[in-house]
Amino acid sequence: MKKRLRTYTAYSIGCAVVWAVILIVVSTQASSHKGNNIRLVFFGWVLGWLSASTARVVYPPPKSRRSTGTTT
């Protein structure tokens, strides 16, 4: 179970939950100016998340750097 929680999907779901809570609290209690600022930060975060997710799909993972046992 612990290994399943250490995935990019789990991270994304956790971030979505936290952002949902933040946006709900801000929309009910903050002024419209502050709410607009928080929404702009949220949309910036979404753009960064989309960029990182696209990079994870497009680019291959790095090759393993295992030592061969000999040093020169």
| Each residue's pLDDT tens digit, 3-56 | 777 888 899 999 999 999 999 999 999 888 998 999 999 999 999 999 999 998
Q: Would you state the pLDDT for residue 42?
A: 95
Domain for residue 2, yes or no? no
Domain for residue 1, yes or no? no
Q: Which residue range is the domain that position 37 belongs to?
A: 8-56
39 vs 37: CA distance, rounded Å: 5
Per-residue pLDDT for 58 more than 80? yes
31 vs 53: CA distance, rounded Å: 32
Domain for residue 66, yes or no? no
pTM of the model: 0.71
Domain for residue 46, yes or no? yes
Q: Would you state the pLDDT for residue 60?
A: 78
Between 33 and 70, the more confident residue is: 33
Q: Would you state the pLDDT for residue 25?
A: 93
Total structural domains within the chain: 1
The size of the chain, in residues, is 72
